[in-house]
Amino acid sequence: MDNLIRAGAVEVVGRLAAGEVTPDELLDALSARIATVDPVVNALPTLCWDRARRARPAAPLHGLPVAVKDLSATAGVRTSYGSPIFANHIPDADDHVVARIEARGGAIYAKTNTPEFGAGAQTFNPVFGVTRNPWNTALTPAGSSGGSAVALKTGMAWLAHGSDFAGSLRNPASFCGIVGLRPSVGRVPSGPGADPWGSLWAEGPMARSVADVALFLDALSGQDMREPLSLADPGLSFLGAAQAPRLPARVAYSADLGGITPVDPEIARITEAAARRLERLGVAVEAASPDFTGAHDCFQTLRALGCATDHAEKLTAHPGMIKADLVWNIEKGLALTGEQIAAALRARGAIMARVRAFFETYDLLLCPATIVPPFPVEQRYVESCAGHRFETYVDWLAIAYAITLTGHPALSLPCGFTAAGLPVGVQMVGRWQGEAGLLAQAAALESELGLDPAPIDPRPAVPAVRGPDDTGSFAPEALTGRPVSRPTAGS
């Protein structure tokens, strides 16, 4: 059982295809692992073994168990969105990505914990409580795909589904030491949604290695005619690209994307050292960044518009049942003027044009996936970094949301550890709709770095050393303003 848990997804799928192991045996291995580990980290609050055992194996996943984020409706399975409004909600239909996973041979066995409606890059909610980082259970795994990242790194999943708006997939990948890919918008089905033309939200694969992520992207990708932005099948194997590592010719590295965000000095040092490893392989690595002027106001406006589009009706129908950060975002969206929206759209267009021009010179852009190491699980969000104080709960995510605005694929790759032994991810941004090239380049850097992707057992809670900029902590109840349940494994 331990050998199965430690194996990578590509290896396990190969054994499934060869008949050396059965889907039921994999589910049995996961059940035993989850019973031991999840009470410590609280990553998988909802399990659905019966559904998983009914799944029909098919290529390319051949019956491999897959965990799905609790923001995606799963027919017949409790889907809470981390909200007390939907605490006991059981949908009648699957979201498109859920149906795609099962059609491609995945066996969905668990829902992964997420913040309320995915808002905020810290995984806690009033339904299931907080999820803890396995490298130090006193700390957060980030979010909003925090449950997925923790399940992967603790051996409770071989593949896990995530989604990304302002780094919701990339931040937890960095904090937990796994690989997460935000693909081009439309590469993976993301509907149904209130705005089928929305281009800031993306579903994506998470795993412990680049090859495993590529395997999952092969399963997830392809056109869905119900979604107007969905992309046609590219006619190639993403796994094949990852298994043929290829070096870029010219790479840009920027610790702060041209000065748009502060960065913890240790994070900057570790990610730059990873970028410089490419120089040993003959790659030209230069200090450079696209011009992201206007990114902050642009993203804040478009995020607020999206929050109002998705959640304004809930705010009216369920007063007092939505967390304050999200209420602020919804109300900001409802108060936007046409002039503000027009200005944000113009700014985004200008940023995209500058980034496309940038990639005429560079093959790859590298920067930190997130600007700080994991922080205390009681803290709602990062309020300060390197002497700079943030005004809102999303300001610290600029290094991720600036890339979101461009629509380019972005991958978080484990690249080293802090002095406290916490993982750090480097963000690798590829060319427009260039996932295959990005995966090949990420595989090359992954090989050069040589970090062990194997799962770990949760490690003891060690209080973080608090710096002069840090603010006070909160009890878990204070994160939500409401009592939280304390789920056990299998709840």
pLDDT tens, position by position, for the chain (491 residues)? 789 999 999 999 999 999 999 999 999 999 999 999 999 999 999 999 999 999 999 999 999 999 999 999 999 999 999 999 999 999 999 999 999 999 999 999 999 999 999 999 999 999 999 999 999 999 999 999 999 999 999 999 999 999 999 999 999 999 999 999 999 999 999 999 999 999 999 999 999 999 999 999 999 999 999 999 999 999 999 999 999 999 999 999 999 999 999 999 999 999 999 999 999 999 999 999 999 999 999 999 999 999 999 999 999 999 999 999 999 999 999 999 999 999 999 999 999 999 999 999 999 999 999 999 999 999 999 999 999 999 999 999 999 999 999 999 999 999 999 999 999 999 999 999 999 999 999 999 999 999 999 999 999 999 876 543 443 333 444 454 433 333 333 32
Three-point CA angle 53, 56, 60, nearest 5°? 120
Please indicate, yes or no, if residue 490 is contained in any of the structural domains. no
Please indicate, yes or no, if residue 485 is contained in any of the structural domains. no
Instruction: Collect all residues with Cβ–Cβ distance below 8 Å to 220 and sequence separation of at least 6.
Output: 97, 100, 101, 104, 161, 187, 188, 189, 203, 204, 205
Please indicate, yes or no, if residue 322 is contained in any of the structural domains. yes
Please indicate, yes or no, if residue 306 is contained in any of the structural domains. yes
Quote the CA–CA distance of 400 and 425 in Å, as a whole number: 12
Q: Could you list the active site residues?
A: 69, 144, 168
- CATH of residue 384's domain is 3.90.1300.10
Please indicate, yes or no, if residue 486 is contained in any of the structural domains. no
- Containing structural domain, residue 441: 2-480
Please indicate, yes or no, if residue 489 is contained in any of the structural domains. no
- Rounded to two decimals, what is the model's pTM? 0.95
3-state DSSP assignment of residue 19: coil
Quote the CA–CA distance of 55 and 107 in Å, as a whole number: 5
64, 158 contact by CB (below 8 A): yes
Give the total number of structural domains in the chain.
1
Quote the CA–CA distance of 270 and 230 in Å, as a whole number: 36
402, 200 contact by CB (below 8 A): no
Quote the CA–CA distance of 38 and 69 in Å, as a whole number: 16
Candidates 470, 385, 370; CA nearest to 415 is 370
Please indicate, yes or no, if residue 491 is contained in any of the structural domains. no
Please indicate, yes or no, if residue 487 is contained in any of the structural domains. no
285, 276 contact by CB (below 8 A): yes
